[in-house]
Amino acid sequence: MSGLQSYVVSYDIMDQKRLQRVHKAMLGFGQPVHYSVFRCDLNSGCLEDMIAALNKIINHKEDRIMVIDMGPTDGRADARIRFLGIKQKWDKHSAMIF
């Protein structure tokens, strides 16, 4: 087991500057799937780091972020994501160094 969980993260950010900051922060945790949607394969510590980073950026009265736990990366996470049209190609899981 890899110990990684697959997450889909989607966000609605009302201010352009915050939107850019959230997008830049998310690039450190996962891969963009669509505009404002990322797939992240993270361990529990990295998940908490991502949430903490996003909490510092967003306005909690205006913005919203949704994090969906898709289960273990070595489980059925890939089978639970369905595309119509061109299928997203995932980079293989890589270690993150902070």
Domains of the chain: 5-72 (3.30.70.240)
Confidence of residue 76 (pLDDT cuts 50, 70, 90): confident
Identify the CA nearest to 40 among candidates 49, 27, 57, 52: 27
12-47 confidence digits (pLDDT tens): 999 999 999 999 999 999 999 988 999 999 999 999
Q: Which two tokens stand for residue 36?
A: 């404002």
Cα 38–chain centre separation: 4
**For residues 95 and 29, is the Cβ–Cβ distance under 8 A?**
no
**pTM, two decimal places:** 0.82
Amino acid 85: pLDDT: 79
Amino acid 81: pLDDT: 73
